[in-house]
Amino acid sequence: MANNMDVGRSGTRRSAMAHINVTPFVDVMLVLLIIFMITAPMLDQGVEVDLPQVQQTPGLPADIEPMVVVLQSNGQISVDRVDIASVGSLERVVRQARENRPDLQVFLEADQAVAYGLVVQVMAAIKQAGIDKLGMVTRLPEE
């Protein structure tokens, strides 16, 4: 006769049932979900700039990664979320980036509360760094 473990009370052969314990999997998934829920809002942090409103703006090409220069209401300048000390150092940063990427496009996000003279100085520094086309970022009016 066969092995005693394979034979049930009625004398018929019984197959082994394999169960997968999903409890550790669920625990890991819950921990990952909590981690993503906590870190996701941190990834979207940026500089708060009150952009001027315009009625119509042309669309931006989606395939080109531009350099974004942000001019905050307090006069702080940042390039791609990195603070820059002055307008002179902005020119050096843009010039170095242009050496690595000759097709570099620069977009300027200037808060509408910034003095016009400072905006012009930033634009002049970008132009002196060798950028021919400078995009101004605006927003549509809220309806």
CATH fold, domain 67-136, is Nucleotidyltransferase; domain 5 (3.30.420)
DSSP string, 51-95: PPB-S--PPPPSS---EEEEE-TTS-EEETTEEES-HHHHHHHHH
| Position 17 pLDDT exceeds 80 | no
pLDDT grade, residue 20 (50/70/90)?
confident
Cα–chain center distance at 74: 23
Percent over 70 (pLDDT), the chain: 73
Domain ranges of the chain: 67-136
Backbone φ, ψ for residue 88 (5° rounding): -65, -40
| Position 59 pLDDT exceeds 70 | no
How far is the C-alpha of 34 from the C-alpha of 39, rounded, in Å?
9
